[in-house]
A and B are shown apart, each in its own frame.
Chain A
């Protein structure tokens, strides 16, 4: 079965990302970023080899490719102990799910919200 070539986040095939094209100014930093599809493919391979949790992490990672560095940093900060309210975390989860198509990450954050409340580390 023929597989599609690996593409960057910007949908450029790996074969285009050569030293010549970098020197010619035809490659941007975004072109050197991993895309969601590649992450999901790696997740499939890893899952088939029996690494379920690693594969789930890669599926969450696939969702996060759509977020800017700044957004990622902000969510991370919110998840640190005592930083966000229960409602605040749920709000982030909703935004991720409905706005950004990131249901797996949303589910992780909802779970955090629930446990943080139980353990008294929500803000």
Chain B
């Protein structure tokens, strides 16, 4: 036998993922492999002679590099001598400032670093990241690519991402020869959307370096490092070649960030049985030793590997924290698809989103997943509104700001036109008007007109072989009337000349304001300190286009009746005859005209009147003025009713069948979920009320159950109720109402054909 519940659970998105037990020999442990070394460090005459149990004679490439460059030897003895739990406590202690923690952690070996974070739970690690990240202001990075490598679409997408506030934009290529054009397209696009966005085109190192040299890119995070010698060599590099490369980029004013992440060594078959976090700690020490200002880590493309193991998501956060503990800028991952399950994906995101990171993601898809050439992407344009709502919910800055549709269309079109003009000026294959229009409005590259890509490939090399330079780009854009875009690209070059991008954790805010670990150092020291989402930024994060003004929304939901159809004919008197009273709330059919379910009050009342008459009982309509509460409206009606039975209805549609002998908060039947009531239900309510009046056995009215109604409509319910409550006249007794003859009503009503009777 199979349990239907288990069968159903097996279909859940989370069960499309693979979960395995740890297997240390294959490198499949996230932390604390039995093959991980214990922390140790011996320094003799200023030289490291033993590190993490390995004597100098047995050092591999990484050990040699780390021992010579990464450790702060003057403090190392002290650091290594402190108990790891004490250092872990320093990380979460708001009274120990970041700089003081750095003095300790920067003297720690890889095994020691792991031993420190081993004592921390996820919440403590998040506290650590909040305090230890380099830059005070968190930021976010976007991926901009498309399957066609269409230059106008790349420019438009980059412009939109820049407008949304991404501080770095990264592209890549399907075909390497496109790289210069792609880099050019996102440079122009980004500087159209917002001046100061840093850009890069992720390609093989040599090409990447050329792009940086040419001024087409301003940062590079392609410098991959690995935690074992074999994996490093398989990556065709050494710590020294990477260190040289890092200096090479800096020599042209280009920001660099190394990249590493848990699981890569195991995937390459070279884990040596070590845990993923231990190997990542080695990567980060190499990164620091090479003088890279930062690290892109958080498992990155291997994310599903640590996630297959117990504690994997915790350890991904631990890697981010380790990077911050070494003073590195952290671009914290969340870029590669982390789960089929939205719940799991979001839970993992919170580890970086809540504490804030220098870059909360190291690549948010500013394009649909279909067009993401970085193997899919974790979050994409379809989830932007979710991201905005999370920022607003939690008062957390996830690095982007809400934008208006017209502004997005404007910058997209301008970016597409800018690159169109440039192609014209350079005599490249023309970008047509239809390409510009398609790029402006596009969801994805599927909507782009056909383009001769061979022609683009031909000209792409002109951008790196010196035939055309960024100076030519600036001049051509300016001459074509794109002075602002030209000025922004020039300013970016001037900032390269000034070396501003080279400070740790450097980004440019609006107006090219440099935010770095030097100009905007993280000064978190507990509540009320550090980065706070407040003031103008908090206002900006609240301004979602979906947000309504509740004052006008209530009126929009239930506008007043323009043509009167209910007439007050005097005080409502108590009667002795067989009847059902329908008691309506103070605003019903007057100041308000619709229920929360969108039904017109006229139709609702008509249905109930007809329902009562279906059973051969007369209906009398009264308005209650002294209360807006459903139970009391119904009870007030019941007290006037000859039969003792009344239906009470609020303007928002909530309905009760009441009897005068019951206490006000008792009832015969209560229909508390107004959105689930339709006209048939209201008619059935009328019938049931009549049957109670006749003393006949009565089945309760069946009601539709919609578990989302409250979620969807609680605000509307509140606003409508408030609107009615404001119509209360506490001293006024109920009045009798007459439905004006139907020829004076406008519009169609249900039942009008089958029943011509009026009150």
Contact = CB atoms under 8 A, between A and B. Distances in A.
Interface residues of B, number: 64
A111 interface: yes
Interface of B is mostly: helix
A119 to B, nearest CB: 5
Interface stretch (B87-95, B289-297, B677-685): B289-297
Which of B205, B229, B252, B499 is most buried by chain A, counting CB atoms within 10 A of its CB?
Answer: B499
Interface in B730-755: none
A45 B518 contact: yes
Contacts of B64: 115, 118-119
B403 interface: no
A39 B475 contact: no
A90 interface: no
Nearest to A28: B471
B549 to A, nearest CB: 43
A121 B238 contact: yes
Contacts of B233: 81, 121
Contact of B474 (A22, A61, A115): A22
B236 interface: yes
Contacts of B205: 76
A14 B205 CA distance: 30
Nearest to A8: B497
A63 to B, nearest CB: 8
Interface in A84-107: 105
B60 A29 contact: no
A57 B250 contact: yes
A17 B327 CA distance: 34
Which of A32, A55, A62, A64 has the most chain B CB within a 10 Å cutoff?
A32
A37 B584 CA distance: 83
A28 B474 CA distance: 11
A75 B205 CA distance: 13
B68 to A, nearest CB: 7
B253 A34 contact: yes
Contact of A79 (B241, B498, B503): B241
B244 A79 contact: yes
B471 A60 contact: no
What secondary structure prevails in chain A residues at the interface with B? helix
B409 interface: no
A2 B485 CA distance: 33
Contacts of A62: 251
A33 to B, nearest CB: 7
A34 B500 CA distance: 10
Interface in B451-498: 469-471, 474-475, 478-479, 483, 486-487, 490, 493-494, 496-498
A52 B517 CA distance: 13
A45 B504 CA distance: 11
A57 B504 CA distance: 12
B240 A57 contact: no
B69 interface: yes
A83 to B, nearest CB: 9
Contact of B503 (A23, A32, A42, A121): A42
Contacts of B69: 53
Given A32-B471, A76-B241, A81-B233, A39 B517 contact: no
B213 interface: yes
Contacts of A32: 215, 470-471, 493-494, 496-497
Contact of B497 (A17, A22, A58): A17
Interface in B198-223: 205-206, 209-210, 213, 215
Most chain A Cβ neighbours within 10 Å, of B243, B288, B470, B504: B243
A42 B237 CA distance: 28
Contacts of A22: 471, 474-475, 478, 486, 490
Nearest to B102: A50
Contacts of A8: 497
Interface in A1-47: 6, 8-9, 14, 17-19, 22-23, 25, 27-29, 32-35, 38-39, 41-42, 45-46
A81 to B, nearest CB: 5
B599 to A, nearest CB: 62
B41 interface: no
Contacts of B367: none
Contacts of B493: 17, 32
A14 B35 CA distance: 55
A94 to B, nearest CB: 16
B624 interface: no
Given A32-B496, A51-B293, A76-B206, A19 B487 contact: yes
B72 A52 contact: yes
A108 B291 CA distance: 12
B502 A42 contact: yes
B249 to A, nearest CB: 8
A25 B475 contact: yes
A29 B471 contact: yes
B253 A33 contact: yes
Nearest to A72: B248
Interface in B124-174: none
B102 A60 contact: no
A39 B251 CA distance: 8
A61 B502 CA distance: 11
B61 interface: yes
Contacts of B309: none
Contacts of A55: 291
A46 to B, nearest CB: 6
B267 interface: no
Contacts of A52: 72
B213 A69 contact: yes
Give the residue among B65, B249, B252, B478 with the most A Cβ atoms within 10 A: B252
A50 B503 CA distance: 12
B14 interface: no
A51 B241 CA distance: 21
A113 B13 CA distance: 52
A81 B250 contact: no
A73 B517 contact: no
A34 B496 contact: yes
Interface in B498-518: 498-499, 502-504, 517-518
A101 to B, nearest CB: 14
B544 interface: no
A80 to B, nearest CB: 5
Nearest to B232: A81
A48 to B, nearest CB: 9
Contact of A108 (B243, B250, B251, B499): B243
Contact of A50 (B99, B246, B498, B502): B99
B694 interface: no
A42 B254 CA distance: 13
Contacts of B330: none
A47 B452 CA distance: 50
B245 interface: yes
A54 B244 contact: no
B240 A38 contact: no
A15 to B, nearest CB: 10
12 contacts: A17-B497, A32-B470, A46-B503, A50-B327, A61-B249, A61-B250, A65-B251, A72-B209, A76-B244, A77-B206, A112-B241, A115-B65
Given A14-B494, A19-B474, A23-B479, 15 more contacts: A29-B469, A34-B252, A49-B504, A52-B72, A64-B250, A73-B209, A75-B244, A76-B206, A76-B245, A79-B241, A80-B238, A105-B244, A108-B240, A112-B241, A119-B61
Interface of A: 6, 8-9, 14, 17-19, 22-23, 25, 27-29, 32-35, 38-39, 41-42, 45-46, 49-58, 60-65, 67, 69, 72-73, 75-77, 79-81, 105, 108-109, 111-112, 115-116, 118-119, 121
In the A-B complex, the 10 residue pairs with the closest CB atoms: A57-B291, A61-B250, A112-B240, A64-B251, A79-B241, A60-B247, A34-B253, A61-B251, A42-B499, A29-B469
